[in-house]
Amino acid sequence: GAVVSQHPSWVICKSGTSVKIECRSLDFQATTMFWYRQFPKQSLMLMATSNEGSKATYEQGVEKDKFLINHASLTLSTLTVTSAHPEDSSFYICSAMGQLNTEAFFGQGTRLTVV
Amino acid sequence: GNSVTQMEGPVTLSEEAFLTINCTYTATGYPSLFWYVQYPGEGLQLLLKATKADDKGSNKGFEATYRKETTSFHLEKGSVQVSDSAVYFCALSALSGTYKYIFGTGTRLKVLA
pLDDT band at B8 (very low <50, low <70, confident <90, very high): confident
- Cα(A80)–Cα(A24) distance, rounded to whole angstroms? 15
Report yes or no: A98 and A31 within 8 Å, Cβ to Cβ.
Answer: yes
* Mean pLDDT score of chain A: 91
Report yes or no: B47 and B59 within 8 Å, Cβ to Cβ.
Answer: yes
Q: A50, A103, A110, A113: best mutation site toward chain B, by most B Cβ within 10 Å?
A: A103
User: Which residue among A43, A57, A109 places its CB closest to the CB of B42?
Assistant: A109
Kindly state whether A108 is in contact with chain B, defined as any CB-CB distance less than 8 angstroms: yes
Percent residues over pLDDT 90 in chain B: 72
pLDDT band at B70 (very low <50, low <70, confident <90, very high): very high
For position A1, what pLDDT does the model report? 65
> What torsion, rounded to 10 degrees, do the Cα atoms B66, B30, B37, B56 define?
30
Q: Are residues B98 and A108, on separate chains, in Cβ contact within 8 Å?
A: no
Between B80 and A52, name the one with better pLDDT. B80
**B96 pLDDT more than 90:** no
Between A52 and B34, name the one with better pLDDT. B34
pLDDT band at B81 (very low <50, low <70, confident <90, very high): very high
**Cβ contacts of B92 within 8 Å, gap of 6 or more:** B2, B4, B25, B27, B31, B32, B33, B34, B101, B102
Residues linked to residue A94 through DSSP beta bridges, in sequence order: A35
User: What average pLDDT does the segment A19-32 reach?
Assistant: 93
* pLDDT tens-digit map of A35-64: 999 888 788 899 999 988 888 999 999 999
- In this structure, what are the phi and psi dihedrals at residue A111, rounded to the nearest 5 degrees? -95, 115
pLDDT band at A92 (very low <50, low <70, confident <90, very high): very high
SS3 string, B18-79, reads CEEECEEEECCCCCEEEEEEECCCCCEEEEEEECCCCCEEEECCEEEECECCCCECCEEECC
For position B95, what pLDDT does the model report? 57
